[in-house]
Structure 1
Amino acid sequence: MCHEAGGEEAVGHSIKDHLNFVTRKKMKEIEGGDVQNVIDNLYNLQSGDPDVFFRFRLKENGKLETPVSVFTDQDQAMSNAIMKIMPLASHTNVVSRFGALKRDTTFKDAFNHCLSGCVSEEEFERCWEKMITTYNLGNSKWFKRLYKIKDKWCTGLSKDFFSSRILSSQ
């Protein structure tokens, strides 16, 4: 604008005034439409990734209800944000990386049993210990961290919320 008008003094307002005006204009445009923006973004995300699924419900006042279940990868920043913004939602971390073990079908079978084949905490503990011992994972920081959040990904330990039978590995 300064260049086109022939200098900053010819514009008639400061850069700060301009930025404040633009910010107010943006806020007015999305006022009352923030829910629609979220929904539009989710539809766009879903159209580009067939693994994305969402369903929403609006309250009588047109606001989104707090999600019941949220599935994400193991990103700690995302986990922290979900706990802060949606404290009532059940957050499940998706287990997505195993390194070379990912190609070992016997390991995959053992892990899948820990993931969704255990019906009690005792059974999970036995299966987990056997897997850790068999594959020499006792010193793995990643598996130790994974164990600490077991209630977020083991279906036998997370029966207190509805997830439409979506496993955290899907």
Structure 2
Amino acid sequence: MADNKEGGIVKKGHEEGIKMAVSILEEFGLPLGLLPLENVIEVGFVRRTGYMWIHQKKKVEHNYKMISKLVSYDTEVTGFVSKKLIKKLKGVKAKELMLWPPVSEIIVDDPPTGKVHFKSLAGITKTFPLVVMDDTNPIEELRVLFQEAQALTEARIAQAESKMKDLLI
């Protein structure tokens, strides 16, 4: 693995690592929501080979709510990135029933059809609409904003009820 990193650009720390990961995803036409990372230690990329690696403090499990799919990102995620493709992917697993098969390849259709494909080592491919992977999805943003507004409204109602109760006592 050390050989794969030779000549790589490395960014350390969460902020710089996230910026680099986003930059790589954008450059190669991959969905920004593909790597929901937390507590990033290091991100590296070797332009000559396309080899990318990500180290984070702990494993992250992310639920893609629109498709009810739980995906696990290990403390180390590696793969070879090219246009609309990550191959030889390691450190990513998607829950299928009671199993966690590793995802070995991610492909975004080119020309664009709005689909993203996930291949497992067993050769099984799952296809989803690209929009479910994009955390900048306006529909998802609106849903989250609505939930936040609803929670604030409920908190204000509870606060008002409490004040009314105090006034009546």
TM-score normalised over the length of structure 2: 0.25
Radius of gyration: which is bigger?
1
TM-score normalised over the length of structure 1: 0.25
Higher helix share: 1
Higher strand share: 2
Considering Cα pairs closer than 8 Å and 6+ residues apart, tell me whether 1 or 2 has the greater RCO. 1
